Structure 1
Amino acid sequence: MAASNSTVKLINDKVIFVQVLVILFLCINLLLIMTFFTKEFFYSTMRYILFAVTLMSDSLLLVMSDLLLILSYFYFTIQMWLCIIIYMVLSLYTFVTPLTLTAMTLERYVAICLPLRHGELCSTRNTLHCNLIILSFSSVPCIVLLSTFFASVTHGSYTQGRVCSVEIFIFHMWQGHLRSAINQFYFLIMCITIVLSYVKIMRVAKAASGEDKKSSWKGLRTVGLHAFQLLLCLIQMWCPIIESAVLQINFMLFIIVRYFNYITFTLAPRCLSPLIYGLRDEMFFHALKKLAVCGLYRKQ
C-alpha cells in the first residue's frame, strides 16, 4: 500500500513539475511576442516573423499537449470528435516548429551566401507565402492518418467517450508504419536542408574577411543552434515508435519513457527559441530589455 501511495505521489510531483515548466515557458513566450509587436521592423523582417510564428506555435502546442496530459492522467473521457480536433491541432503544430526552423535556416543561408538577393527573396510577401507552405506541409501527416482512421471506423464511433491519445486513431499495424514513414521522410528532408546550409555558410565564413567574417560566423552559430533545436524536435517524431515498443514490455516503464520524452523532446526545444533570438539577437534583446524596464517602471 505504501509503495502504491509513493508511486501516486511521484506521478503527482511529475505533473506539477510539468505545469510549472509550461507556465514558465508560456510567460516567456508571451513577453517575447509582445516585444515582437513593439517595432515595425520586426514584423516586416522575415527572420523575426518566422521567430514569432515559432513562439505562437510553441505556445499553442504547450497548452494543447498539457491539456491532453491532464486529461490522460485523470482518465477523463471525451467524445471522439473532440479528440480528433485536439489531435489535429497537436499534429499540425508539432510539424510547424521544425519546418519554420528549417525556413529560418534557409533565410540565414540567403542572407550570408546570397546577400544581394536577400531583400527580394525574403520580402514580407514571400514570408507570407512561406508560412502558407509551412502550414500546408505540416497538415499532410495529420490528413493522411485521419484519412486512414475515417476509413476504418463506423459513424457511431465519433460520439463514443474515450481517453484521448494518438493511439486510438491507429487500428492496424500498417497505419503505425505509415505514420512512422512520413515522420522519417520529414526528418530526412529537414536534416539534409540544415546540413547543406551549414556547409555552405561555413565555406563563406572561411572565405570572408573583417565584418563579413564576423557576420558569417555569427550566422553559422545561429544555424548550429537551429540544428540542435531541430534535432530535438525531430527526435520527437521517433518517440511514438519507441513508446510503442516499450509498451509491449512494461506499462510502468512506458509511463516513465513517455514522461521523459515529453520533457526532453517537447518542452525542451520550446525553451530554446528565447535563447536563440530573445537573448542572442542584439536588436531584439534591446527591445526586450526596454519593454521589461518600461513595464517595471510603470509598475513602480
Structure 2
Amino acid sequence: MSNATQFHTNITVRRQLLERVMICILTTVPCCVFLFMNCAMLLTLRSKSVFRETSRYILLYNLLLADTALLVQSQLMYILAVCRMTLTYPVCGVLIMLANLTTAISFLTLAVMSLERYVAVCYPLKHATIITIRNSGVAIIVVWAFSALSILTRVILLLNFPFEELQSLQMKHFCGKESMLLDPMADLYDKSLTYCLFVSTSVAVGCSYIGVILVARSASTDKASAQKAGNTLLLHLVQLGLSLSSTIHNPILTAISEVLDRTVLLHMQIVLYVCFIIFPRCMTSLIYGIRDQTIRPVLLYNLCCQCRGSLSVIS
C-alpha cells in the first residue's frame, strides 16, 4: 500500500512539475518575442537624430521604456508565482512599486501623446510652437514626478502596517499586488488612483480622437494624415482598455475557477495572462513599428541585423 501511495505521489509531483515547466515556456516565449521587439524599437528610437529631436518620438520612447520595464517585471512575478516561490515583504514591495510606477507612466504618457496628435492635426500651424522638445521634456518630467509622488503615497500608507508585530518578514503567500494592500486605506487609494488614471487618460484619448475625426471631415485638412492619426488614437483606446483589463486579471481567474475544471482553467490562465498582461505591453511597438513610415524601415533593418547577429553567434 505504501509503495502504491509513493508511486501516485511521484506521478502527481512529476505532473505538477511538468505543468509548471509548460506554463513557464508558453508564457516566456511570447514575452521574449515581445521584449525583443520592444528593445529593437528602443534601439531604433535612439539610432537617428530625427527620432531624438522630434517630440512625438521622444514621448514614444518614454512610453516604450515604461512598457518594457513593466513587461519584464510582470513575467518575473509570474514565473515566481508558477514556481511557488515566496519573497520577503521589502523585495515584493519594490517589485510592486515598480509595476505601479511604470503603469502610471504608461497611462499618462498615452494621454500626452494623444494630445500631441490632436494638436498636430487640428492646429498644424501652431504645432511646431506648442509641441517643442523643451515642452515634451517638461511633460515627461511632470509624468515621472506625478508617478513618483503616487508611489511615495503608497509607501507612506504601507508603513502604517505594523510589520514589527510579524514573526518574520517572509511572506506566506505569493507576491502580488493584493498581497501588498495591507491597509484598507492603501486598497482604497490604489483603486481610486487606478480609476482616476484610466478615466483621465480615456477622456484625453477619446476627446483627441473625436477632435481628429471632426477635422478629418472638413475640406481644409489633409484627410489621409487626419485619418491615420485617428486610427492611431483608436488603437491607443484599445491599448488602454487592455491595460485596464490587467487590473481585473486575478478576479476573472477567481471567478472562472469555480466553474471550470483544472485543465481548462490552466489553459485559460495562460491565455488571459498573454492577452491582458503581456500583449498590451507590446502594442506600442506594433502600432508605431508597423504603421509609422519613418520608423518602419529603420526598425526592420535593426531587427534583421540583430537576427543575423544572433545566428552568427549560435553558428
Please point out which of 229, 234, 259 is paired with 1:219.
229
What amino acid sits opposite 1:284 in the alignment?
I
Structure 2 runs not aligned, ≥5 long: 1-7
Superposed CA offset, 1:199-240 (max 9, x none): 111110000357x11111111111111111111112223445
Separation in 2 of the partners of 1:109 and 1:291? 30
What amino acid sits opposite 1:164 in the alignment?
C
Separation in 2 of the partners of 1:194 and 1:10? 41
What's the offset of the Cα at 1:291?
A: 3.5
What's the offset of the Cα at 1:93?
A: 0.8
What amino acid sits opposite 1:134 in the alignment?
V
Q: TM-score, normalised by structure 2?
A: 0.82
3-state DSSP of counterpart to 2:217: helix
Please point out which of 145, 148, 153 is paired with 1:139.
148
1:125 is aligned to 2:134? yes
1:181 is aligned to 2:192? yes
Separation in 2 of the partners of 1:255 and 1:160? 31
What's the offset of the Cα at 1:255?
A: 7.4
Structure 1 runs not aligned, ≥5 long: none
1:292/1:27 Cα in 2 relative to 1: closer, same or farther (>3 Å)? closer
Separation in 2 of the partners of 1:87 and 1:158? 22
Superposed CA offset, 1:121-161 (max 9, x none): 21111111111122233335433333222102234759612
1:167 is aligned to 2:178? yes
1:207/1:100 Cα in 2 relative to 1: closer, same or farther (>3 Å)? same
- Give me the CA root mean square deviation: 3.1
Give the match for residue 106 of structure 1.
115
Q: Aligned runs of 1:1-300 on 2, under 5 Å?
A: 1=8, 6=15, 8-155=17-164, 160-162=169-171, 163-173=174-184, 175-209=186-220, 212-239=222-249, 242=252, 259-292=270-303
Q: Decide whether the 8 Å contact of 1:98 with 1:234 is kept in 2.
A: no
Separation in 2 of the partners of 1:108 and 1:171? 41
Give the match for residue 5 of structure 2.
none
Tell me the number of residue pairs that the alignment of Structure 1 and Structure 2 aligns. Answer: 299
Larger radius of gyration: 2
3-state DSSP of counterpart to 2:49: coil
Separation in 2 of the partners of 1:285 and 1:59? 19
3-state DSSP of counterpart to 2:200: helix
Q: Decide whether the 8 Å contact of 2:20 with 2:83 is kept in 1.
A: no
**Aligned residues: percent identity?**
27
Separation in 1 of the partners of 2:126 and 2:70? 34
Separation in 2 of the partners of 1:296 and 1:258? 31
Q: Decide whether the 8 Å contact of 2:107 with 2:197 is kept in 1.
A: no
1:188/1:294 Cα in 2 relative to 1: closer, same or farther (>3 Å)? closer
What amino acid sits opposite 2:297 in the alignment?
H
